[in-house]
Amino acid sequence: MSDPTYAELAQRVKALEKENQKQKTGDEKLKKQNGFLNLVLESLSHPFYVINADDYTIQLANSAAQAQGISGEGTCYALSHKRQTPCDFKEHPCPLEIIKQTKKPVTVEHIHYESHGSPRHVEVHGHPILDDEGRVSRMIEYTLDITKRKQIEEERNQLIKSLQDSLAKIKTLSGMLPICASCKKIRDDKGYWNQIETYLHKHSEAEFSHGICPECAKKLYPDIV
C-alpha cells in the first residue's frame, strides 16, 4: 500500500479538527446544560434530590436537601429516617416502592429527621424516571415541611374534642333530672341518689361554695338574725 499523499493527510487532519471542534461544542453545550440544571435546583427553597431505584442511594441533591443532611453519601432511608432498612408501609409508605408498582407520581406524608435529630412532618412528592425499557431507574423526590400545619391540625382537633365534651355535658344537664321533692337529691342514670352539688360537679365545670340564704338563716338562727 502506498503512503498517503499530502492532500489525503491534509483532508484527514481537517476531518479530525472538525470532529474535535464538534466535540468541544458538544462539551460546552453539555456544560451549559449542567450549569442551567444546577441553577434551577439551587433556586428551589425546599429539599430536592434524585434517588437510585435499585439501591436507594442519593445521586443528586440541592443545597436545601444537603442542609438537612441529605446528600450523595448514603441511602434515602438512612439519611432522612435514621433507619437501617427501607421504609415499610406501616407508618411510612415508601414512595419509591409505590412508583415501581404504578410508574406514576405519588404523594405521601412522612416524619423526617434533620441532621441534628429533630423530627419534622413533611409531604413527600415522588416522580418516576424511566429508562429506555420503561423500567423505573430513578425517582425525583422533593419534600415540603408541613410541621406547622400538623400542629395547627392537632390544636384544632383538641379544641373540637374539648367543645364536644363540653357540649355532651351541657346536653346531659339539659334533660329531665329526677330530683327528690324533699331532700333535693338527684338520681343518676345508674339509679343512685346524689347530693345536687355532687351531681352538678360531676356533669359540669361548676364549683360550689356553701353559705346560708336569708330565709334559711331566719329559720335556723332566729335569735342571731
DSSP secondary structure of 138-177:
EEEEEEEE-HHHHHHHHHHHHHHHHHHHHHHHHHHHHS--
Domain boundaries, the chain: 44-145, 148-175, 176-225
pLDDT for res 136: 94
Task: State the CATH class of domain 44-145.
Answer: alpha beta
pLDDT for res 173: 64
Contacts of 97 (CB under 8 A, 6+ apart): 86, 89
Cα 99 from Cα 76, distance rounded (Å): 15
How many CB atoms are closer than 10 A to CB 108?
Answer: 16
**104's grid cell:** 406514576
Inter-axis angle of helices 196-203 and 147-174, to 10 degrees?
A: 150
Of 66-70, 132-136, 143-147, 218-222, the one with minimum mean pLDDT is 218-222
Amino acid of residue 90 = K
pLDDT for res 174: 66
Mean pLDDT computed over every residue of the chain: 83
Residue 49 has pLDDT above 70, yes or no: yes
